[in-house]
Amino acid sequence: MSDVFNTTITKTKLVCPIGEIAGKDNIQKGTTPVFSCEGACIRGEIARVAANMIAKEDGYSRGCHGEAISAPHTEPAKWVKGSDKVVLIDGCFMNCHGRIFENILDKEQLLRFDALSIYKKYSDLMEIDSVPEEERKATARQVADAVLAQLKQAEQPTQTEQPAESCSTCS
């Protein structure tokens, strides 16, 4: 059995005018796109809110999965395709968007995170509003902070990459 299956998308020549402006701006600034899986349950919602929080940080901006996947002629899609790094937060271990994006982007571009593995709650709940809004936001903040910390750590040079004159015992 094959590990992949195909789906079919109807082409369009349409573009979203403001999306084109935003896409060009992101290409010019070299920002990193941030996606979530957009799942309709509480896990998808926490991933979505966490992605929005990360997208507010310097150097990041929210990617549009609809255009990235279904409208490759658009500037937002070209931005994603041409970015060095793409951050993706899936809501849970199903990795729904990761399994799509790993077939659209190069392996080294995609930085994947599983939100549920960070906060480890609500597995018996489905509805978004089964968790109060403030608690949802606090949980999303926990996910966003954990993802940002891992992204920051990944940017740190390894010991062998440090300049020769640097001293490992100096602060």
Minimum separation from the CB atom of position 50 to ligand SF4 (A): 12
Contacts of 89 (CB under 8 A, 6+ apart): 34, 35, 36, 37, 47, 50, 51, 54, 113, 114, 115, 143, 147
What's the order of all strands across the beta sheet hosting 86-90? Answer: 60-62, 32-36, 86-90, 110-114
Contact residues for ligand SF4, defined by CB under 6 A: 37, 39, 41, 43-44, 90-92, 94-96
78 vs 97 by CB, closer to ligand SF4: 97
Min CB(38)–ligand SF4 separation in Å = 7
Instruction: Specify burial of residue 22 (Cβ count, 10 A radius: 0-12, 13-18, 19+).
Output: middle
Element (H, E) at 29: helix 17-29
Of 75 and 90, CB closest to ligand SF4: 90
CB of 125 to ligand SF4, least distance (A): 12
Kindly tell me which of 20 and 102 has the beta carbon lying closer to ligand SF4. Answer: 102
Considering beta carbons, is residue 44 or 76 the nearer one to ligand SF4?
A: 44
Q: Nearest distance from residue 167's CB to ligand SF4, in Å?
A: 45
